[in-house]
Amino acid sequence: MQLLWIDYLIVAVYFVGIVILGLYLSRYIKESSDYFLAGRILPFWAIGMSIVVSDIGALDMLGVAGQGYRYGIAVANFDWIGSFPAMILAAFIFVPFYWRSGAYTIPEFLGRRYNLSVRTAQSVIWILFIMFDLGVVFYGLGLLFQSLMGWDYWTAVLISAAVIGLYTFTGGLTAVVLTDVVQLVLMFVGGFAIVALGLWEVGGWNALVEKVTALGPGYERHFDLFLPADTATPYPWTGILFGLGLVMSTAYFVGNQTIIQRTLSAKNEWHAKASMLFAAGFKAFIPVLVVTPGLIALALYGTGIEDGDTVMPMLIKKLLPPGMAGLMFVAFMAAMMSSLDSMLNSISTLWAKDIYQQFLNTQASDTDLLRVGRLFMLTALIFGVATSRISELFDGMYVYVQTLLSFFQGPTLALLLLGIFWKRCTPWAGFWGLLFGVATAGAMSFFADRIFSIEDPFLFVSFWSFVFTLVALVGVSYVTTPKPDKQLHGLVYGLVMADSDMQQALRERANG
Amino acid sequence: MVEYILDFRWAHDLSLSTARLFFMAYFILITVFGLSMSREYVFRGAEDRALWRDLRLWVIVIMTVQVSLYLYF
């Protein structure tokens, strides 16, 4: 792609601007809660925009466009039914509970509700997952800019790591969230530019529908959100409704540390709830940005593209006039950086609060936590950069790690749901329920060929692992001892409502 | 029998119109849930009680968009 001086200028302004913003915000970091939870002063709109942009990375922009090319608009289910209902449930049930409990992390909340074993298991899983994910995202970043801009792999990775490291290290969650706001705007501008130019090239929306459906019988459902229950694709309506709509999306928006940590930084309970609903509004537009390019590519290039992930770069090269490459570069860069900074901030919080403070230094002062969190953030950053090339050697590693994480989603949701709504649910039921749920998810995935008729049945696996975990939680709860009520105040729905003193304390807290 | 349940094979004979009804029922359930929140709970912590801060209205907007999308596509 031909780069002009204006492209380099846009990129330079972006890098310098983001670093200055991050460094400026570092003046507000006085203690660990400032660093990990932005001092709990953030407004709903900033948190909401940060949630959206942390959820969508550049790899998603490439991958989902490829899925849209292959399966059509059914992929949009992940941002529509896979977001709206879950975000409403999160806003009105889970987020207020987390926010009032004063917890920094989801594992910390689970630890208070169940026991230290559940907390540690959850923390270790998340830390390992994020560590692996960092390397994969850096690898994707290096490759993307190598192919799009002709940059050297290590130059791209090291420059972006330095920029992200600088503002995340100094500014903490405040810098992460506020730079995310800028990054969301850039992503939307870049994404809509591609879609608008693509639709112009195709001849408009109606022409797009006509051209794609005319490609043959395999493409007549490319504009249907509902695919038959016996479809060979991974997206039958049963999987979308039960697996994605009821379990996976809810688990993601109520149990994902990188998402929930933002809501915990809200300045009061209303802003915490509103942030989720505000984010849902933006999520409506995400499929327009990431799925439509796949359909546009289908109309422009036909069915001959083997690797769907190349669709977006092909469109950029074909559609963007000289001078706009810098804008697209910045949009991708923003998507990558917003995912990386969120992961780094979350992993430092998990390490400092759930591992360091629990096992390595139980008497840790606030200054210790701040120092350790920052140091671990740097360690994770260096680990991510150093291991980025490993993804090249082990092609299936990312998929393997992602699959393993998906085993925990259904069980974690079951733990959160019963933990909040059923005071009889015991600590050991939480631990054994988690293990049982993960084991059944693993077994179903292992025997997927014998049990399921669809390709890649992760939606069904999530749903059934959730159901099996619920059964295990109830069963084990009846044969083990529950926590006394006084230890569950503020953690279980019925006890919050029953205790007038607690209600008063919560009201004061909710009012900031 | 196990495959029949786990693989949702009981749903293979249902039409896509029936599937759409299931989806709509779910959306209505979520909307009703959001609207059932008490005024005190919805405004808790809010700086004032301006109409735009009523999160139940936000739920109506969000779910109207959702239902429209699933009726159109």
Q: Do A73 and B73 touch (CB under 8 A)?
A: yes
Q: Do A460 and B6 touch (CB under 8 A)?
A: yes
Q: Do B34 and A450 touch (CB under 8 A)?
A: no
- Which residues in chain A are closer than 8 Å to B68, comparing Cβ atoms? none
Q: What pLDDT was estimated at residue A144? A: 75
Q: What is the 3-state secondary structure (H, E, C) of A2-14?
A: CCCHHHHHHHHHH
Q: What pLDDT was estimated at residue A280? A: 94
Residues of chain A scoring pLDDT < 70: 1-3, 58-59, 322-323, 391-402, 494-512
Q: Do B62 and A270 touch (CB under 8 A)?
A: no
Q: What pLDDT was estimated at residue A56? A: 79
- Which residues in chain A are closer than 8 Å to B6, comparing Cβ atoms? 444, 451-452, 460, 464
Residue B40 lies in a domain: yes
Which residues face A138 on adjacent strands?
none
Contacts of A396 (CB under 8 A, 6+ apart): none
Residue B48 lies in a domain: yes
Which of B34, B46, B66 is opposite residue A270, by nearest beta carbon? B46
Residue B5 lies in a domain: no
Q: Quick count: other Cβ atoms within 10 Å of Cβ A232?
A: 10
Distance CA A502, CA A511 (A): 14
> If DSSP codes are grouped into helix, strand and coil, which group holds residue A314?
helix
Residue B7 lies in a domain: no
Residue B20 lies in a domain: yes
Give me the total of CB pairs closer than 8 Å, taking one residue from chain A and one from chain B.
Answer: 124
Which of B19, B26, B45 is opposite residue A269, by nearest beta carbon? B45
Q: Do B20 and A450 touch (CB under 8 A)?
A: no
Contact A420, A385 (CB under 8 A): no
- Which residues in chain A are closer than 8 Å to B23, comparing Cβ atoms? 81, 226, 237, 241, 245
What residue spans define the domains of chain A?
A: 5-393
Question: What CATH number should be reported for the domain whose range is A5-393?
Answer: 1.20.1730.10
Contact B31, B23 (CB under 8 A): no
Dihedral angle sign, alpha carbons of residues A300, A301, A305, A307:
negative
Which of B8, B43, B66 is opposite residue A80, by nearest beta carbon? B66
Q: Do B37 and A92 touch (CB under 8 A)?
A: yes
Residue ranges making up the domain that contains B23: 13-72
The tokens for A274 are 């509103």
Q: Which long-range contacts (CB under 8 A, 24 or more apart) does A140-148 make?
A: A140/A58, A140/A59, A140/A62, A140/A336, A141/A58, A141/A336, A141/A340, A142/A388, A144/A58, A144/A62, A144/A313, A144/A332, A144/A336, A145/A329, A145/A332, A147/A313, A148/A1, A148/A313, A148/A316, A148/A325, A148/A328, A148/A329, A148/A332
For residue A73, give the chain B residue with the closest CA: B73
Contacts of A402 (CB under 8 A, 6+ apart): none
B10: buried, middle or exposed (CB in 10 Å: 19+, 13-18, 0-12)?
exposed
Q: Do A241 and B65 touch (CB under 8 A)?
A: no
Q: Which residue has the higher pLDDT, B53 or A491?
A: B53
Q: What is the pTM of this model?
A: 0.88
Domain count, chain B: 1
Q: What pLDDT was estimated at residue A334? A: 78
Q: What pLDDT was estimated at residue A399? A: 61
Q: Do A237 and B23 touch (CB under 8 A)?
A: yes
Q: How far is B23 from chain A (nearest CA, A)?
A: 7
Phi (first) and psi of residue A141, to 5 degrees: -60, -45
> b/e string for A37-53 if b means 16 or more Cβ within 10 A?
bbbbebebebbbbbbbb
